[in-house]
Amino acid sequence: MSARDRILGRLRGSAPAVAPSLPDAHALYAARRTDASRAERIASFCLQMTFWRGGVMRVTTDSWTARLRELCAAKGIGSLLYGAHGVHGAALAAAGIHSLTPYDRPVDEWKQELFENTDAGFTSACGAIAETGTLIVWPDVEEPRLISLVPPIHIALVDAGNIHDMLFAAMINDSWSGRLPTNALLISGPSKTADIQQTLAYGAHGPKELIVLLLVNEEEL
Amino acid sequence: MISENHVQHAMQFVPASAFKQCSADAIGDAHLRRSFRGAMDFLMDKRAAQFPDDATLQRQRDVAEKIRQYSLAKLPELLEQLERKLTANGVQVHWAENAEEANAIIVGIAQKHSAKLMVKGKSMVSEETELNRAMAAAGIDALESDMGEYIVQLDGEKPSHIIMPAIHKTKQQIARLFAEQVPGASYTESVDELISIGRAVLRGKFMSAQIGLSGVNFAVAETGTLCLVENEGNGRMCTTAPDVHIAITGIEKVVEKLEHIPPLYALLTRSATGQAITTYFNMISGPRKAGEKDGPKEVHLVLLDNGRTQAYADEQMRATLQCIRCGACMNHCPVYTRIGGHAYGTTYPGPIGEIISPHLMGLDPTHALPTASSLCGACAEVCPVKIPIPDLLIRLRGEATHDARSGHAPLVGQGAAKSVLMDVVWAGWAALYRRPVLYRGFVWLATRFRCLTPPTQSGWTVSRTPLKPARRSLRERLTERRRNRP
């Protein structure tokens, strides 16, 4: 008999005969549903993200690459890691940002360079959460996991139309349970720690800075 | 400084059986008490600020409790579903009945990859199995990468709090520690600089380690997903940068549906550190897929029993396994606040430790722990999943002093605190109370010869005035009053 069979055997021997009914998480959130407007969701997201020390820049479809170029110049970013074949790859390549570095081969071939010589990483975020000021980032083949983790600055582009009221709504509305990627992330601000005498310090192990480019309409700028 | 050094020595690797001595030592240490008082006040205030409306909080707690109870009721089924899903996703699932088996599995995986270095994200279960010791015995470095864990490991200590491992240390102590132990680091009391030092050391390790180890906050059966909650990013590093990721968790952490996660996660972070959300919520559903450029090539999950099935077997004690490890019970415990986490000598200190440790380690070394409570009930009041901790403390106090009741299998170490003297005293007391003649005679003697009560009464008079019977019993005084009434 294996450890597995013995453990499961013990559990089965004492599990209650009748399981309680399925807990209704929907009811909990239905009581709180606010029907917030787009403007309210944007405002809440910006407020909360700023609370977590994340920077938010409102940009438009036409202006975001130019704003990103300015940002790179202002921050002195010498290498901006990005997915060349990602959704925004072509737009970035056409933006005249000199520091663009494509994440174009397996990390095993250039791990040291990634860790030691990359100033910033650019990813898209597939959504956001208004309640907590959170980005929803699903890394994929084109925009791998480490872009949003290793470089000291993480810049993320998110469409204001994809801001959900709360995590539960995002999971349900976008049917996460049927299509989760190998790694899905929620990111709320730059990396931080309060492990030394409850004193908050940023840039513990991940990015020291998180800058959100929030895609809005012209009149929402 | 003398008291600080004294405490540091006393705090290392104390056996749980030495609890009474360790707690007495800790109470005598003003520095330690100040640290914990300050930290616990800070955490209690931060939590309270997250729950401005009690009715909402109670609704959330009800749902969270139901989710945990439901998951536990279906535990064997959910574990099998989790295993099926994870296996389909490419994750290798291992089962371990005890700490030795879990450690052997992990050492085995590391040796298969000829690993020299393993970086660890925060995992209390790996503390429970003393994995670091097993890895060291196999010649593999196991390096803690959570800042707090890194600090306590550097100083040869164990965590004193499940969420904030180095909460007992001042920044001056950490500054000295870094200056002495980290090559090239100079003395600084700036927290930002101290964190930068830790960051620089550990980045090199994330880059070069072949194995990353992590715990699991929640495992989702329907999707085969391991969820990790953290602020620092070291958890993401450990689970993303090395070629192999090994996750270890107790068997109780599984929930059925993804939609069960938001209510639990929302309460976990708010209860633990008073944050509405952590910086990172990391959901891992498999190793690197073909075409993906990073992520571990292998992911393993070790499911550990280690006494949990004993708690599971009893309907009342099963509630112990509802725990989501937020640490709010310790933050609000007047005993924990006064003695700190190390005095318990167990991986999980505070109220949750007092009710889970007897299952993990048996009652022999742990029977004193359930007595470390005034039963004030603060722990149960703040518990996000409504574990009736005081009831379980009382239950375990009883189990430690008597044989198993009929219909109940004996716990490991059942009756560990049994004492003939105590049994005799209680039997005598019961006999007195059942026979009115004897009882009255006893009361008459006790009141008339009250001057003979000893001035020192074992543990009672260490910090209290001696017990002394009244001059006359209540019954006598009432009779007298009736007689004197005009």
* Burial environment of residue B433 by CB neighbours within 10 A (0 to 12, 13 to 18, 19 or more): exposed
Report if residue A65 sits inside a domain.
Answer: yes
To the nearest 10 degrees (0 to 180), the angle between helices B75-89 and B54-73 is 80
Would you say A112 and B207 are in contact if contact means Cβ atoms under 8 Å apart? yes
CB–CB contacts below 8 A, A to B: 248
Domain regions of chain B by residue span? 1-50+327-418, 62-308, 420-484
Q: What is the 3-state secondary structure (H, E, C) of B186-238?
A: CCCCCHHHHHHHHHHHHHHHHHHCCEEEECCCEEECCCCEEEEEECCCHHHHH
Beta partners for residue A101, in sequence order: A81
Q: How many distinct structural domains can be found in chain A?
A: 1
Helix (H, G, I), strand (E, B) or coil at A40: helix
Residue from B168, B195, B239 to probe the interface with A (highest A Cβ count within 10 Å): B195
Q: Encode A61-80: b = buried (16+ Cβ within 10 Å), e = exposed.
A: eebbbeebbebbeebebebb
Task: Tell me whether residue A69 is in a domain.
Answer: yes
Select the residue from B171, B255, B280, B305 to test the A interface by mutation, using most A Cβ atoms within 10 A: B280
Q: Is residue A103 part of a domain?
A: yes
Residue B320 contacts A where some CB pair is shorter than 8 Å = no
pLDDT tens by residue, chain B, 486 residues? 333 333 333 334 567 778 999 999 999 999 899 999 999 999 999 999 999 999 999 999 999 999 999 999 999 999 999 999 999 999 999 999 999 999 999 999 999 999 999 999 999 999 999 999 999 999 999 999 999 999 999 999 999 999 999 999 999 999 999 999 999 999 999 999 999 999 999 999 999 999 999 999 999 999 999 999 999 999 999 999 999 999 999 999 999 999 999 999 999 999 999 999 999 999 999 999 999 999 999 999 999 999 999 999 999 999 999 999 999 999 999 999 999 999 999 999 999 999 999 999 999 999 999 999 999 999 999 999 999 999 999 999 999 999 999 989 999 999 999 999 989 999 999 999 999 999 999 999 999 999 999 999 988 898 899 999 999 999 999 999 999 987
Tell me if A2 is assigned to some domain.
Answer: no
Asked whether residue A64 is domain-assigned, the answer is yes
Question: Which residues are CB-neighbours of A119 under 8 A, at least 6 positions away?
Answer: A75, A76, A77, A78, A79, A80, A99, A151, A152, A153
User: Any idea how long chain B is?
Assistant: 486
Q: Find the closest chain B residue to A103 by CA distance.
A: B293
**Beta strand A127-129 with A134-137: parallel, antiparallel or unpaired?**
antiparallel
- Tell me which residues of chain B, numbers 291 to 310, contact chain A at a CB-CB cutoff of 8 Å: 291-295, 303, 305, 309
Output the six-digit token pair for B253: 């952490």
Residue-wise pLDDT tens digits, A73-121: 999 999 999 999 999 999 999 999 999 999 999 999 999 999 999 999 9
Q: Residue B188 has which token pair? A: 């600084």
Question: Looking at A177-186, A203-212, B3-12, which range is the least confident one?
Answer: B3-12
Q: What stretch of H or E contains A159? A: strand A153-159
Fold that domain B62-308 belongs to in CATH: Rossmann fold (3.40.50)
Q: Quick check: pTM over 0.80?
A: yes
Query: Which residues in B lie closer than 8 A to residue A176 (C-beta atoms)?
Result: 258
Q: Provide the token pair at B247.
A: 């996750």
Confirm if B395 and B348 have CB atoms less than 8 A apart: no
Per the CB < 8 A criterion, the answer to whether B47 and B227 are in contact is no
Domain residue limits at A213:
36-220
Q: Which of A129-138, A201-210, B18-27, B187-196 is predicted least confidently?
A: B18-27
Judged against a pLDDT cut of 80, whether residue A22 lies above it is answered with: yes
Query: Is A19 within a domain?
Result: no
pLDDT of residue A33: 65
Domain harbouring A44, CATH code:
3.40.50.10420
Cα–Cα distance between B236 and B283 in angstroms, integer?
A: 10
pLDDT at A63: 95
Euclidean distance between CA atoms A58 and A60, whole angstroms: 7
Quick check: is A97 in a domain? yes
Residue of B nearest to A196 (CA): B171
**Is A144's pLDDT higher than 90?**
yes
Find, in chain B, the residue whose alpha carbon is nearest to that of A26: B259
- With vertex at residue A39, the alpha carbon angle to CA A35 and CA A40, rounded to the nearest 5 degrees, is 50
